[in-house]
Structures are given as structure tokens and as C-alpha cells.
Chains A and B, each alone.
Chain A
Amino acid sequence: MNKYVKLIRIALVAATIMVATKPVSAQESTLYNALGQESGISRIVDETVIQILNDERIKSGFKDTNMKRLAQLLKEQFCVVAGGPCQYSGDEMAIVHEKLGITSAQFNALAEDLQAGMEKCNIPFAIQNKLIARLAPMKRDIVTVK
């Protein structure tokens, strides 16, 4: 019996240590927090969408897009890449963008709109770069015009 309790204790301690020292997710939740968690990310995406719809370089590309749905998916996606407790319910980037013929210049234009959106939300530049750094590798799946 004693042995049994001891084992449970060890297991509990081990589990606590594992939870407490999960370094990657702890670090990631810092970016999620730095962006203002769910409400902060929501504001960033709303501001970014305003920038996109006023951006002569790319706004025509969104004329048939359900912007409400796009904003919802961006919020989920930014939350996930920032290490927040969310689920992304959209399709994979490569599948979504496969037939859109997006250029590198359009991809970067959207990145600049995101920068402007974060600027509007007073996100410090170093934090802006951390989010963009996690989104930047998606260029390989999004840009199909080489």
C-alpha cells in the first residue's frame, strides 16, 4: 500500500515538473501574452484587415473574400503561432493559396499591412518582428508565382 502511494507521489511530482518545465510552450505563451492574448490579437487582425481593404496593391485580390471569415481564421492562426490556447479551423496554407497566383510582392504587402495593424495597436517593434518571423516561412506555401 505504502509503495503504491509512493509511486503515485513520484508520478505526481514528475507530472508537475513536466508541466512546469515545458520550455517551448512557456516561451510561446510569452508572445501570445505580449500580443495582448485573445482580445489583443483580435484587435490586431481587425486593424490589419482595415489596412488590407485600403491597400491599392492587394485589395482587389480580396473582393470576393468573406472578410469576416478571413478575420476569424487569421485570429485563430495568429493565436496558434503565438502559442496561445486556440485551434485553427481553416485549411492548410498551401491548399488555400494553391490557385490564387500570389506573388512575393503581394505577400510582402500583406506583411506590411500587418505591421501597420500592429503599429495601430501599439505593439512594440521587437514583438511585431517575433510574430512576423513565425508567419514568414508560410511564404513557401502562399507564394506560387515564382
Chain B
Amino acid sequence: MTVPRQLTIKHAMRLFHFSSYVAICLAGWIFQNAQAQVLPLPDQGKLLATSGVSEVEGTGGGGLVPWAVITGYGSENSYGFNAHVTQLNTQDYQLNTSGIAIGICDKLELSLSKQEFSGSLAPLNKLKLSQEIVGVKLKLAGDLVADQDNWRPQIAVGAMFKRDQGINGLEALGVTNVTQLGAKDDQGTDYYVSATKLFLAQSLLLNGTVRLTKANQMGLLGFGGDKHDHYQAMAEASAAYLLNRKVAVGVEYRQKPSNLSVDHEKAYYDGFLAWFPNKNLSLTLAYVTLGDITVFNPKNQRGWYLSVQIGN
């Protein structure tokens, strides 16, 4: 009984430390604005494009990989929020995601998003899977822009709390929950650490992420499975080259576990082009490869991904 209690205390202390940091930052910011007698407004104080875009699970990042950036253009003394919609169409499936996120003091990020996955090829043309994701990310160290004279990346840790919303379209087979397809659970949590380095003199951004996860197809097919039911560390990476102030091109890779015998899950890849016309809008176009989604349709699924983010 001692070990869990120690763990709880340690966790509580850490949580207390984090929340006091954020509280101090927020209090300082409110005080500053109260003195100036103005309504606190987002300051859009970051450089264009340094907020990243909305990742497919709602956090700030690339398209498929969470980055160590805090979403939005709020600087260390402010905040920024945004909303996004993303659509990905492969030969036989479609994924729609939408969500909202806020970045506070360039330190803490909170996000809410929903993913809806549907089939367009019989017999799965009525299939609908969906999940809701609550994301929390905390920047721990580094300064993406200032650290140009050393090798230190910006580092953040995060968690994604995911819950499946049930399965539609397979009622005829009596299947209404992902656990009936072999998943051990219909909810789960991903934990990740991301390191993002901007090599400004080379106009290059590199990101590496390690994610502890049990999620099958990001969680759309549940968590854990008949093959494995333990957390596995997955490697994810992004590279982006800045063509000009408003346009970045890049590639991404995301390793996946393979927990289900009905899904020989494969890594995701994409090549992307992101356009930042201003700090209120970004558009990301990508070509994505998802691998085969189920053994019942062993075709490699690939297609276009378009994401729109509005915010400040």
C-alpha cells in the first residue's frame, strides 16, 4: 500500500507544482491587464507559423504528430485559442476531425476534439466510428526561437484522454462497441513527450515524439487487443522546411502498435504543405498513407488531407 500512496503524493506534488506555475502566470497576466484597465486580449505575440497547425488529435503540432509547441499565438504573457476542421479521404474511408484548443502563457495547452471515421465501400459503407479526445500539454523547457546558439530543443509532455462513442453501421452483426472487435477497452490515454527544434539559420524545423499508447488506429478501434494489451512506446517524427514566412513543406512519420488480429496496423506517413496567410488562419494540405485498416480490406489506404484552422 505504501508504493501507490507514494506515487499519488508524488503525482499530486507535481500537479501542484504545475498548477501553481500556471496560476502565477495567469495571475500576473490578469493583474497586468487589470492595471491597464483593459479587457485581456490575445496578444498574437508569437512569430507567424511558430504555433504549428492542428494535429489530427487536436493538439498543436504537425498533421499527424504532436509537437512541443503550444497552440495559438499567445506569448508568455497572454493566451491564444483556435478551432479547426480536418478532412481526410482515402479510397474507402473518410476521417473528419474538428476541435477547439487554447494555449495559455505559451506554457499550457488544453484541447477538445472529435474524430469521426466512416466507410464508403460495401459492406462497410454504413460504418461509423467516433471518439472524443481531451488533450493536455505542458511545455517543460526550451525556447523554439531564442535557442539558436545551442542544441536545446523545446520540450513538452502531454496526455490525450480518449473515449470511443460506439460503433454505428454494424448492428446487423450485433457489433456496437469496439470491444466486440477485439479491443480490450473503449477508452484509453496516450502519454507523449515531444522535442521540437527550429534551426532558423537553415529554415528547418525538426520534431521527435515518443508516445506511450495502447490505441488501435489512434483509438478509433479501441485500446489494447487480443495480441497485446500493454503500453508500447511509439516513435514519431516530423521535418519541415520554411519556404518563406507563410509557407512550410514537410514530411511526417508515425509508428503504430498492432494490437488487434483483425487489423494489421501500419505506420502513418504524410507529406504536407502548410500555408499561414496571417495569424488568424492556416491551411494544411497533405498526402497521407494510413496502411490497411482491417484484414477485411487489405488495400493500402492513402489520400488527401485538408485542414483549416482559425484562431489567434
Contacts and interface: CB of A to CB of B under 8 A. Distances in A.
Interface of A: 103-106, 108-109, 111-112, 115, 125-126, 129-130, 132-134, 136-137, 139-140, 145-146
A137 B146 contact: yes
Contact of A105 (B45, B147, B148, B242): B45
B76 interface: yes
B242 A129 contact: yes
Nearest to B25: A146
Contacts of A111: 47, 145
7 contacts: A104-B75, A105-B45, A108-B47, A108-B145, A109-B45, A129-B202, A129-B203
Contacts, number: 64
Given A125-B244, A126-B203, A133-B148, A139 B75 contact: no
A105 B47 contact: no
A145 B146 contact: no
Nearest to A111: B47
B146 A105 contact: no
B211 to A, nearest CB: 29
A115 B45 contact: no
Nearest to B247: A125
Interface string B101-143: 0000010000000000000000000000000000000000001
B47 A133 contact: no
A134 B148 contact: yes
B201 interface: yes
Nearest to B145: A136
B147 to A, nearest CB: 7
A95 B78 CA distance: 26
A108 B45 contact: yes
Contacts of A140: 146
Contacts of A103: 43, 45, 75-77
Nearest to B44: A105
A134 B148 CA distance: 7
B243 interface: yes
Nearest to B149: A137
Contacts of B143: 139
Nearest to B143: A139
Contacts of A139: 143, 145-146
A133 B201 contact: yes
Interface string B67-84: 000000001111000000
B206 to A, nearest CB: 15
A105 B200 contact: no
B147 A137 contact: yes
Sort A-B residue pairs by CB-CB distance and give the 3 closest, nearest first. A105-B45, A133-B200, A133-B201
B38 to A, nearest CB: 14
Interface in B129-173: 143, 145-149
Given A105-B77, A105-B78, A133-B200, A125 B45 contact: no
B245 interface: yes
Nearest to B106: A104
Given A125-B203, A140-B146, A104 B45 contact: yes
B277 to A, nearest CB: 15
A129 B78 contact: no
Interface in B203-221: 203
Most chain-B Cβ atoms within 10 A of its Cβ — which of A132, A133, A145, A146? A133
Contacts of B48: 112
A132 B45 CA distance: 16
A139 B46 CA distance: 13
A112 B242 contact: no
A126 B76 CA distance: 27
A139 B143 CA distance: 10
Contacts of A146: 76
A39 B77 CA distance: 38
Given A103-B43, A130-B200, A134-B148, 12 more contacts: A105-B44, A108-B47, A111-B47, A111-B145, A112-B47, A125-B203, A130-B201, A133-B200, A136-B148, A136-B200, A137-B148, A146-B76
